[in-house]
A and B are shown apart, each in its own frame.
Chain A
């Protein structure tokens, strides 16, 4: 019995330090990011992060409806994280769940420090995230895509927000916990990070960590965020420079 996790037949970490999906301890899953995938949205991005397949679309800055939500001093950011009914093994009710509402809120709060909202008062920037297929770590992947979509929309930003989780699996701190490890593991810590400003803008934790493991877990996750950051930059570079800038 593993403390804090469910009993499992899966070997989460073998004697060579290889995880159940063949990865090393500090290795993220396969990540592919593409910017500018939607025609109507002002900015958009698509990410595949392990088995996650997620779209993000950005509209704005634009008029705020309902009007009472508008802020005279700065723009507002709104975010909707939504999972398609077919994104998980058992059909998900399409109505927003409490989990989705919470994730929408933490993603919005993770992006707010990066977006220069003070430059466009009385307007709103809307971010719509659709999880087409869900795997472990979907909130981090969603945040990665949303950040690229904001940049793709040309919205002034102080920094990108890059996200990756770390966790504790078989008493070891590992990078980028997958679904199986999340179910059977001991702790999961999603982290969102501004790589140039060195600020953590999203952090949550489920599961038990000693103070030393806690620090290691944050450091490991930040290492993953920095890897994601390179891929986010590449996605934007590919969109704006590879096809003569007209894709």
Chain B
């Protein structure tokens, strides 16, 4: 994105001027999330799914569950893998082809938040130790990009995993065979919630929208679990944070995250 256009520059000045007056460009308070809606069960062929709208950012996540070989040093654990893709229809700047560094970071941050929280008790997903385990694959497709894909993908994957039904497999002649008509909820231990904050000057903004995203000095994504502890974190952007700012971001992530966790819990009940 080498050249900042004049319009972008004017927009950036406007955003900064408004912040000086205590306002955000879309009228939100600094620690306010955009409107969040979560719908589950949107892809019936997937074992779990969710469609998340975070303002004008929109993500569809699907979970597929299938038997797999365990990782070599993790024979007593099932597999969880989370990916993300920005579809070319999501934004004029998105292109088909191999993922760039931004998309790779997005997928790894979303994966890390869920993995490090221990959300899924992977030890309950073993069919035959060291030989055959159940794999849970959560794939995110960004279909509209208006900033903060980290949280939109994170909520979509989490809601999709919460809604996931795990089929039953039995081992016959060393091969897992699906037992029709029997399924159970995914073994959930905690609900991770990521909160992404952007810094512009001295201001910390929760859930930056697309326009704000373009002029952030730095950003940070902090994931907390149901106990209110911090389980994953990633800083990005071309500048840094002071220690005081990092402490404040952690507090915001815990308090804002607690509300979002309630929304995620409700989404499991099958509603909006």
A interface residues, Cβ below 8 angstroms from B: 4, 68-73, 76, 98-99, 101-102, 104-106, 109-110, 112-113, 189, 194, 198-211, 214-215, 218-219, 222
Q: A199-B242, A206-B232, A209-B230 are in contact. Are A4 and B118 (CB under 8 A)?
A: yes
Residue pair B251, A211 in contact (C-beta under 8 Å): yes
Residue pair B231, A207 in contact (C-beta under 8 Å): yes
In the A-B complex, list the 5 residue pairs whose CB atoms are closest, starting with the nearest. A205-B233, A201-B240, A199-B240, A112-B238, A71-B2
Complex Cα–Cα for A110 and B238 (A): 7
Residue pair B230, A208 in contact (C-beta under 8 Å): yes
Residue pair A211, B246 in contact (C-beta under 8 Å): no
Q: Which residues of A contact B2 (CB under 8 A)?
A: 68-72, 76
Q: Which residues of B contact A72 (CB under 8 A)?
A: 2-3
Partner of B235, one of A68, A69, A106, A214: A106
Q: Which residues of B contact A214 (CB under 8 A)?
A: 230, 250
Complex Cα–Cα for A198 and B243 (A): 8
Write out, one digit per residue, whether chain B residues 117-134 have a CB within 8 A of any chain A CB (1) or not (0).
Answer: 110000000000000000
Q: A105-B105, A214-B250 are in contact. Are A200 and B229 (CB under 8 A)?
A: no
Complex Cα–Cα for A4 and B122 (A): 12
> Total A-B residue pairs with C-beta atoms closer than 8 Å?
108
Give min CB distance, B153 to chain A, whole Å.
15
B interface residues, Cβ below 8 angstroms from A: 2-4, 101-102, 104-105, 107-108, 112, 116-118, 220, 225, 228-243, 246-247, 250-251, 254
Q: A200-B243, A209-B229 are in contact. Are A109 and B4 (CB under 8 A)?
A: no
B interface: dominant SS:
mixed
Q: Which residues of A contact B232 (CB under 8 A)?
A: 205-207
Q: Which residues of B contact A76 (CB under 8 A)?
A: 2
Would you give 30 A-B contacts (Cβ < 8 Å), ordered by A? A4-B116, A4-B118, A71-B3, A72-B2, A76-B2, A98-B108, A105-B101, A105-B105, A106-B235, A110-B240, A112-B239, A113-B238, A113-B239, A113-B240, A194-B240, A198-B242, A200-B240, A200-B246, A202-B235, A203-B220, A203-B235, A203-B241, A205-B231, A205-B233, A205-B234, A211-B228, A214-B230, A214-B250, A215-B250, A218-B246
A interface: dominant SS:
mixed
Complex Cα–Cα for A87 and B199 (A): 37
Give min CB distance, B27 to chain A, whole Å.
30
Residue pair A109, B3 in contact (C-beta under 8 Å): no
Q: Which of the listed residues A73, A112, A203 has the most CB atoms from chain B within 10 Å of its own CB?
A: A203
Give min CB distance, A242 to chain B, whole Å.
32
Give min CB distance, A68 to chain B, whole Å.
7
